[in-house]
Structure 1
Amino acid sequence: MKEKLTCYIIDDEHLAQEILEAYIGKVPFLELKGTFFSPLEAAPHLEKDKPDLLFLDINMPDLDGLSFIPMLNPRPLIILTTAYDQYALKAFDLEVKDYLVKPFPFERFYKGVLRLYQEQSPRSLSIKEEVKTMPKPEQAYLFLKVGHRIQKIAIRDILFVEGMKDYLRLHLLKEKIMTLLSFAKLEGLLPAQDFARVHRSYLVAIDKIDHIEKNRIQIADQIIPISDTYSEAFYKKLKGFL
């Protein structure tokens, strides 16, 4: 296991820095290498030292933490520390490792850094490599952005998907939802053998089809056209179920 995780603090508040420094000092596998008041101050040191972990505030003058993250190359592990919870969705997009809302107790801090430390162990890394080579099990659900939330959606509940300009409307068994996503991206997330694109604006769950007549599909009370562009591939896929 890696002996220590080297870390930096970037926060424009003295008190926040002092609390983090005290917390880090209590954890034997963390080694503080630098404390800075802004990303601009820290940038040249990050490039030189390449710390393992960065405790990063969000709201700072000149350059905020969320804007700074995409500039980091290589990118260390990042734990965001902020007084605001409304940035969690953006943080999710940037793949930060943890999101600590101030004031956070030492117990919550320790839980987050311990998980990261354990993930860096040789055993953990070897397990990750094994998982990469194993066939992926059929995923039973998706997480999609719906407005300002991330919603869990059971794949078995999807009847069909309708294109709505920049959005997709998912018709589910009990509801309809809108998500800002492309067909190409969604098709990459769904099991290919269970779904088929039948039109520029429609993708259907094959097992939800009631019947097909004259190049039109009925699913529940909806009639969906099959376009010439997609008909050959669709009927070829359908043969596997006949």
Structure 2
Amino acid sequence: MMRCIVIDDELLVRELLEDNIRQIPFLQLIKTCKNAMEAMEVMQHEQVDLIFLDIQMPRLNGLQFLRSLPQPPMVILVTAYEQYAMEGFELQVADYLLKPFSFERFLRACNHAYELFRLQHKAADVPKDFFVYVEYVQVKIVVADIEYIEGLRDYIKIYLSSSTKPVLTRMTIKAIEEKLPPPAFIRTHKSFLVAARKITAVKRDLVMIGNKEIPVSEFYKENVTRMLNLSKD
């Protein structure tokens, strides 16, 4: 559940956002505020995970307010002015809703924010080392040693920093992905799972681990983009 507040000086917009938020099962509305000063007071006493933030407001505009926060929560900008989009994304906002917006567009922004929220909370979960069978022998896999994993139907190859030869074991890539959740490991392709911290470069259709190239398919490109955004936090 994401605890959220609304900051907007327009009553009709506040009411619309309140109504939309109540229809989203993973959102809990804590407070609606007419200006940034009201919001500051709320945030001193309440945990806030997400802010729906207007830009053009009296005294302190939304971007000024956002820059004033030492550790801002996730933000979805809600504004009638598209010229602030670049500045908003430089401040690493989750999304930018341009008034007037449909409920479908609102829901898409909320789903994106919730996915980022879940990924950030998983960041503290460090995957544990595990054992796999290799020719009837159980071999320990140290998670920190994994560079990437390649799926081959019912088998996987686990490529390690400490070995030139991958570990081949009978397991599906879906099963290993459940052991190694994001953001520590990201899926770049239906057949590849990559240790995010081992990535040294990102190209259009590839990620690099040193001189090794791992493909990025169109379907999984958003995973790589999300990883890059999280690494800026």
| TM-score, scaled to structure 2 | 0.55
- Which amino acid letter does the alignment assign opposite residue 68 of structure 2? M
- Which amino acid letter does the alignment assign opposite residue 76 of structure 1? P
Deviation at 1:137, TM superposition (A): 4.9
Deviation at 1:38, TM superposition (A): 0.3
Moved more, 114-123 or 72-81: 114-123
1:20 alignment partner in structure 2: 17
Deviation at 1:135, TM superposition (A): 1.9
- The partner residue of 1:135 within 185, 198, 201 is 198
1:97 alignment partner in structure 2: 94
- The partner residue of 1:34 within 27, 31, 36 is 31
Q: Deviations over 1:192-213 (max 9, x none)?
A: xxxxxxxxxxxxxxxxxxxxxx
- The partner residue of 1:64 within 61, 66, 90 is 61
- Percent of matched pairs sharing the same residue: 38
Deviation at 1:8, TM superposition (A): 0.2
Moved more, 18-27 or 118-127: 118-127
Deviation at 1:140, TM superposition (A): 2.7
- Which amino acid letter does the alignment assign opposite residue 87 of structure 1? Y
Contact 1:50/1:76, CA 8 A, preserved across alignment: no
Where do residues 141-180 of structure 1 align in structure 2 (5 Å cutoff)? none
What secondary structure does 2:202 align onto?
coil
What secondary structure does 1:51 align onto?
coil
Deviation at 1:74, TM superposition (A): 2.7
Deviation at 1:114, TM superposition (A): 1.1
2:169 alignment partner in structure 1: none
- Which amino acid letter does the alignment assign opposite residue 198 of structure 2? P
Q: Deviations over 1:90-111 (max 9, x none)?
A: 1111111100000000000001
Contact 1:98/1:112, CA 8 A, preserved across alignment: yes
Count residues in correspondence. Answer: 138
1:51 alignment partner in structure 2: 48
Contact 2:74/2:93, CA 8 A, preserved across alignment: yes
C-alpha distance 119-44 of structure 1, shift in aligned 2 (>3 A): same
Deviation at 1:89, TM superposition (A): 0.8
Q: Deviations over 1:145-174 (max 9, x none)?
A: xxxxxxxxxxxxxxxxxxxxxxxxxxxxxx
Moved more, 15-24 or 118-127: 118-127
Would you say 1:111 and 2:118 are equivalent positions? Answer: no
What secondary structure does 2:182 align onto?
helix
1:202 alignment partner in structure 2: none
Structure 2 unpaired stretches of 5+: 124-180, 187-194, 205-233
Contact 2:94/2:112, CA 8 A, preserved across alignment: no
Separation in structure 1 between the aligned mates of residue 48 and residue 57 of structure 2, nearest angstrom: 21
- The partner residue of 1:10 within 7, 24, 49 is 7
2:75 alignment partner in structure 1: 78
Separation in structure 1 between the aligned mates of residue 38 and residue 26 of structure 2, nearest angstrom: 26
| TM-score, scaled to structure 1 | 0.53
What secondary structure does 1:74 align onto?
coil
Contact 1:80/1:96, CA 8 A, preserved across alignment: yes
Separation in structure 2 between the aligned mates of residue 50 and residue 70 of structure 1, nearest angstrom: 18
Contact 1:7/1:30, CA 8 A, preserved across alignment: yes
Separation in structure 1 between the aligned mates of residue 44 and residue 185 of structure 2, nearest angstrom: 32
